[in-house]
Each structure stands twice: as structure tokens, then as C-alpha cells.
């Protein structure tokens, strides 16, 4: 046989390095597969909850456990607090930098406040330029779904809140305790993504709870490929041809 024509000399130190590296590559590959499966489970949970009967959000159920409300379709009535608009800075959408326009809404017949994500807008040429946010007056009936606060990409400076004018404030991140103080109200620990968007100039930018699971499968393939490549190299460097093939 072909393999019988070679001697194999596995030296201790190279063998230890190979075994450790090979195991690390295999572990990293399975870890990426596990990450992808976790993301797929989250997205499946989101899809299943979207099929459930919409929640009519009011003072009686708004404070239910957040995990039982996330990603559910929702309908609610309330009044926008137009003098406390929030720009959530550093939001990436379709690989473009921008910001989310968020307006607090007082739930009808309640003292509770919920943040309403009105959409995304690309960064303006001048950071000092103040975007135009339409005033929405009177009681509103809104539809959408419940989601966690978006994660900010970059935190700029130590000051989280910047006053742009008497009605618009720029936030680097959203935290319930800080929002309670800022709005002098009881703010719910989630927000509403509108469907449909009520401002035509903004873009709906909600993403799946855990996007890009395909990337994790791709990374897993790369780690396994590294492991196989390392195995081939290790065996090849350990082989020496027998004299006269004997």
C-alpha cells in the first residue's frame, strides 16, 4: 500500500502543539454551530410570537414580565410627548450610519410611558443640524410589535444626553433608570416598533432578534477547514519515505 512506503516520526513537542491547536479549532467550530443554532431558535421564537393574537397594550398588562411580551404584535392608544423627542445616536442600517427617531407615548388612562421607535434616518452632513420631527397631536391608535431597546454602536463621550433644542434630545444609549429621571415618569423597559411607519421620511429598521446565523455556519466551516488542513500538514511533515520503498 502507498502508506506502507513511509515511516512516521511524531516528535513530542510538535505533536503536543498539533493536538492542542487541532482541538481548539474543532471546539471553535462546534461553538460557532451552537451560536448559529441559538440565533435560529431566537428567530423561530420571534416568528412564532408574530403569529399570535396581537396584544392590546394598556395599564393592566403593560407591566407584565418583559420576556412574555417581547416580539408580540401590539395595538395601543395613547398621546405622544412631542416635547421630549429622542434621537438615539449611532444606529447602523444597511451598513449606513444614522439614528433612530424615538418619541415617548403616554398610554391612554395610565401614567405609564412607552418609547415608540418611529424609524431610522441617515446621518446628516452636519452633526449640529437638527432633524425635522413632525408633531403628532391628539390621541393615537398605533400598531406594531414589542422589542428590546436597540443597542448603540459607539458611545461618544461621557455625557449620555445632549440637548439639541427644547423638544429634541440626543441619547447615546437607552437605560430605564435614566429615562425615568429624564421623563419624570414610569418608563416601560421595552419599545414599540411601528408597523406601518407613520413618518414617510423615516425607514423601518427592525432586525430579527439574532440576525446573521449564516455567518456563524460559515465561521464553523472555516474552523473545521483549519483543523483538517493542520492535520494534513502535521501528517505530511511527520512522514519520511522508506529507503527503496521498503
Q: What is the 3-state secondary structure (H, E, C) of the chain?
A: CHHHHEEECCCHHHHHHHHHHHHHHHHHHHHHHHHHHHHHHHHHHHHHHHCCCCEEECCCCCCCCHHHHCCCEEEEEEEECCCCEEEEEEEEECCEEEEEEEEEEEECCCCEEEEEEEEEEECCCCCCCCCCCCCCCCEEEEEEEEECCCCCCCCCCCCCEEECCCCEEEECCCCHHHHHHHHCCEEEEEEEEECCCCCCCCECCCCCCCCCHHHHHHHHHHHHHHHHHHHHHHHHHCEEECHHHC
Q: What angle do CA 8, 12, 14 make, to 5 degrees?
A: 80
Beta-strand pair 85-93/186-194: unpaired
Residue 114: its pLDDT value, please? 95
Rounded Cα distance between 174 and 157, Å, is 15
Asked if residue 174 lies in contact with residue 115, where contact means CB atoms within 8 angstroms, the answer is yes
Is 202 part of a structural domain of the chain? no
Is 16 part of a structural domain of the chain? no
Number of structural domains in the chain: 1
Show pLDDT as tens, one digit a residue, over the chain (246 residues): 555 666 777 788 889 999 999 999 999 999 999 999 988 888 888 888 888 888 899 877 888 888 888 889 999 999 999 999 999 998 988 888 899 999 999 999 889 999 999 999 999 888 888 888 999 999 999 999 999 998 765 555 567 888 898 899 999 999 999 999 999 999 999 999 998 888 888 888 777 777 778 889 999 999 999 999 999 998 888 777 666 655
Is 111 part of a structural domain of the chain? yes
Rounded Cα distance between 80 and 65, Å, is 24
Is 109 part of a structural domain of the chain? yes
Q: How many other C-beta atoms are found inside a 10 Å radius of the C-beta of residue 232? A: 10
Is 150 part of a structural domain of the chain? yes
Is 40 part of a structural domain of the chain? no
Residue 122 lies in domain: 51-194
Is 217 part of a structural domain of the chain? no
Is 42 part of a structural domain of the chain? no
Amino acid at each position: 500500500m502507498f502508506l506502507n512506503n513511509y515511516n512516521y516520526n511524531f516528535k513530542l513537542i510538535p505533536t503536543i502543539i498539533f493536538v492542542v491547536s487541532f482541538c481548539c479549532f474543532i471546539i471553535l467550530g462546534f461553538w460557532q454551530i451552537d451560536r448559529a443554532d441559538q440565533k435560529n431558535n431566537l428567530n423561530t421564537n420571534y416568528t412564532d410570537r408574530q403569529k399570535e393574537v396581537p396584544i392590546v397594550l394598556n395599564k393592566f398588562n403593560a407591566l407584565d414580565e418583559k420576556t412574555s411580551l417581547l416580539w408580540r404584535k401590539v395595538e395601543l392608544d395613547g398621546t405622544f410627548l412631542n416635547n421630549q423627542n429622542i434621537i438615539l445616536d449611532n444606529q447602523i442600517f444597511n451598513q449606513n450610519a444614522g439614528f433612530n427617531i424615538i418619541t415617548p407615548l403616554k398610554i391612554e388612562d395610565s401614567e405609564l410611558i412607552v418609547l415608540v421607535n418611529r424609524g431610522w434616518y441617515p446621518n446628516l452632513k452636519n452633526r449640529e443640524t437638527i432633524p425635522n420631527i413632525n408633531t403628532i397631536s391628539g390621541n393615537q391608535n398605533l400598531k406594531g410589535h414589542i422589542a428590546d431597546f436597540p443597542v448603540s454602536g459607539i458611545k461618544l463621550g461621557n455625557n449620555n444626553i445632549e440637548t439639541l433644542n427644547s423638544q429634541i434630545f440626543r441619547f447615546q444609549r437607552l437605560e430605564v433608570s435614566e429615562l425615568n429621571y429624564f421623563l419624570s415618569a414610569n418608563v416601560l423597559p421595552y419599545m414599540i416598533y411601528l408597523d406601518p411607519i407613520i413618518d414617510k421620511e423615516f425607514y423601518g429598521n427592525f432586525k430579527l432578534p439574532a440576525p446573521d446565523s449564516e455567518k456563524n455556519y460559515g465561521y464553523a466551516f472555516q474552523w473545521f477547514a483549519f483543523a483538517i488542513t493542520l492535520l494534513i500538514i502535521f501528517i505530511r511533515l511527520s512522514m519520511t519515505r522508506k529507503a527503496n520503498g521498503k
